[in-house]
Homo-oligomer: A and B are copies of this chain.
């Protein structure tokens, strides 16, 4: 146990002590499968790990299955083809040759391994398990005697003099962080310690190398902090948590030195411009930023550090209020793979890296676990169904790296990338999705996401099975059957999504502009209803959750009805790119217009505020999607350069995540709402 395990620090949320003392605890869906140690402190709210959630869902089951049968094997194969794995074989002395590919390529192998471990938890696959064993054996051979493991400095021969000579750019700790995450997952799923032993040996070496009185320079790319927190949870070794906090605290401080370090700051790009506890705005490379905020949340939960929480609360407000796309994507700029200024949210050049979306979900889940507020799940859900899912093809073997909100028609998902962070993140992210659905706190339960299936949840004094039946995200009816092992009084917090409460976002960055032209039926039904055992109830809404506290019996039911009218979204005026424009949303799904469905030209479409928008489910289209249709004006440029309406045509909008699956075609999320915002072709 390190010092954080022993100190009773400031209680930062009401029941942290009770929450922490209740036993084994975990950060997110992926951990907490088996915890060998009861930690003294962790998140107040505990997730229900994905492996305790059985998914039987029209939307998610096919995606989980595709990830298992296509994406994971495919990514391993690509890691083989691109020599990512042969770098380890060379480092292990199995073959000769130079290092191939980018210096941080080790990380991709670890990430796919992490995904494979999750997949094994819910679906045994002997060949996948044995393949992991072989990779681990090779990695054991590639590890140096002192614990160091990084192929770039190991091939064609060990170069000890090169280690840590460029922690700003060479990503040694980034790779090791992913190794720690993968090793913890592998151990928790299989009970086999082979990978965990490699990880602890490497982490021990890190602890000897970095820390007070040793090397003090922080890594250029955050990630090790998350890995160290997971390793701390898995082993109970406090020094790993100590090192995670140390490396965070070193950011933004001049004078850090390694053998060749110059003590200069790395700057905003790497969130190293000021100390982390002084940061209030999201800046720089968005994946680094998100991994840092996630790591800060973990360290805060595990230590009770209020300064961290204050900082990431402020940053969250900044992101959600000024830097978040309507799809949940973040990172407007390709130049720095990261954040631009406030309200700078261009659509055609939107970067919205797939990894950043996943990282945004990691972070928001932790923010929820810390604060118990549904607003974080609102962001998580928006990102999940839109910006994140867009990154992976329905077939499971094509990937987007950036996910722009507008295209002139050249976009196509790629089989792989030289920098393959996104595909490997897909492999590990998808199987973890069921882990975001539920949470618990003491004896109380949270229903965060709506997906069919059931979860078995052990609370302090009971074991409760929750069964969901739903056609979400296409229909808003959710039936939850409650089956406590023994009857008891506890609260079930059912999330009432922000979009159902007419708040697209827990900020004023976007708003629904919806009451303009809904069909009467939609307007009339547009109120959330809840029933328990068939009887309407009107529970208090606390932090975005309907809190239903009663004595629960086996077979009790909760029926949630979330009306799903098609809704218009408009951005606040400061977002120049969206001025005069409208986006469509229904339930959690944000829509887009593809040229294929709209006469080849989406830039000239104008969706007037008074146009009726209809929803129609098309089971045969794009594996089954609900589309939105209506009448648009067609803008035309006059010979004088003005824009006029040249008639009307039907429009069809499809879910944004499903774009670019049929052809290379123009696409936009934001359509013109006014003639002057349209961009028709020049007059002939």
Q: Give A residues with C-beta under 8 Å from B.
A: 73-74, 76-77, 80, 86, 89, 92-95, 125-128, 130-131, 133-135, 137-138, 140-141
C-alpha gap A141/B88 in the complex (Å): 12
C-alpha gap A92/B92 in the complex (Å): 9
Copies of the protein in its oligomer? 2
Question: Which residues of B lie under 8 Å from residue A89 when comparing CB positions?
Answer: 137, 141
Q: Contacts A92-B93, A92-B94, A94-B92 hold; do A73 and B137 have CB atoms under 8 A apart?
A: no
Question: Which residues of B lie under 8 Å from residue A77 when comparing CB positions?
Answer: 126, 130
A464 → chain B, closest Cβ, in Å? 36
Question: Which residues of B lie under 8 Å from residue A80 when comparing CB positions?
Answer: 130, 133
Question: Which residues of B lie under 8 Å from residue A138 when comparing CB positions?
Answer: 94, 134, 137-138
Contact B73 A127 (CB under 8 A): yes
Q: Contacts A73-B126, A77-B126, A125-B127 hold; do A93 and B95 have CB atoms under 8 A apart?
A: no
Contact B125 A95 (CB under 8 A): no
Q: Contacts A127-B125, A131-B130 hold; do A141 and B93 have CB atoms under 8 A apart?
A: yes
Contact A94 B137 (CB under 8 A): yes
Q: Which residue on chain B has the smallest CB distance to residue A126?
A: B73
What are some 23 contacts across the A-B interface (CB < 8 A)? A73-B126, A73-B130, A76-B126, A76-B127, A76-B130, A77-B126, A80-B133, A89-B141, A92-B92, A92-B93, A92-B141, A93-B93, A95-B137, A95-B141, A125-B127, A127-B128, A127-B131, A131-B131, A134-B134, A134-B135, A137-B138, A138-B138, A141-B141
Question: Which residues of B lie under 8 Å from residue A93 when comparing CB positions?
Answer: 92-93, 141
Q: Which residue on chain B has the smallest CB distance to residue A129?
A: B77
A373 → chain B, closest Cβ, in Å? 41
Q: Which residue on chain B has the smallest CB distance to residue A94?
A: B141
A324 → chain B, closest Cβ, in Å? 37
C-alpha gap A141/B92 in the complex (Å): 9
A267 → chain B, closest Cβ, in Å? 41
C-alpha gap A54/B115 in the complex (Å): 35
C-alpha gap A93/B93 in the complex (Å): 8
A141 → chain B, closest Cβ, in Å? 3
Q: Which residue on chain B has the smallest CB distance to residue A92?
A: B94
A126 → chain B, closest Cβ, in Å? 4
Contact A126 B74 (CB under 8 A): yes
Q: Which residue on chain B has the smallest CB distance to residue A138?
A: B94
C-alpha gap A131/B137 in the complex (Å): 12
Question: Which residues of B lie under 8 Å from residue A126 when comparing CB positions?
Answer: 73-74, 76-77
A591 → chain B, closest Cβ, in Å? 35
Q: Which of B94, B130, B133, B140 contacts A140 (CB 8 A)?
A: B94
C-alpha gap A77/B76 in the complex (Å): 20
A167 → chain B, closest Cβ, in Å? 28
Question: Which residues of B lie under 8 Å from residue A137 when comparing CB positions?
Answer: 86, 89, 94-95, 138
A155 → chain B, closest Cβ, in Å? 14
Q: Which residue on chain B has the smallest CB distance to residue A139?
A: B94
Q: Which residue on chain B has the smallest CB distance to residue A95?
A: B140
A478 → chain B, closest Cβ, in Å? 36
Question: Which residues of B lie under 8 Å from residue A140 when comparing CB positions?
Answer: 94-95
- Max count, chain B CB within 10 A of own CB: residue among A86, A134, A135: A134
Question: Which residues of B lie under 8 Å from residue A135 when comparing CB positions?
Answer: 134
Q: Which residue on chain B has the smallest CB distance to residue A86?
A: B137
Question: Which residues of B lie under 8 Å from residue A125 when comparing CB positions?
Answer: 127
Question: Which residues of B lie under 8 Å from residue A134 when comparing CB positions?
Answer: 131, 134-135, 138
C-alpha gap A128/B76 in the complex (Å): 12
Question: Which residues of B lie under 8 Å from residue A141 when comparing CB positions?
Answer: 89, 92-95, 141
A532 → chain B, closest Cβ, in Å? 45
C-alpha gap A127/B94 in the complex (Å): 21
Question: Which residues of B lie under 8 Å from residue A127 when comparing CB positions?
Answer: 73, 76, 125, 127-128, 131
Question: Which residues of B lie under 8 Å from residue A73 when comparing CB positions?
Answer: 126-127, 130
C-alpha gap A94/B74 in the complex (Å): 26
C-alpha gap A246/B130 in the complex (Å): 40
Q: Which residue on chain B has the smallest CB distance to residue A131?
A: B131
Q: List 17 extra interface pairs beyond A89-B137, A92-B141, A95-B140, CB under 8 A.
A: A74-B126, A76-B126, A76-B127, A76-B130, A77-B130, A80-B130, A86-B137, A93-B93, A94-B137, A94-B138, A94-B141, A127-B127, A130-B131, A134-B135, A134-B138, A138-B138, A141-B141
A399 → chain B, closest Cβ, in Å? 17
Q: Which residue on chain B has the smallest CB distance to residue A127?
A: B127
Q: Which residue on chain B has the smallest CB distance to residue A93?
A: B93
Question: Which residues of B lie under 8 Å from residue A130 when comparing CB positions?
Answer: 73, 76-77, 80, 131
A377 → chain B, closest Cβ, in Å? 34
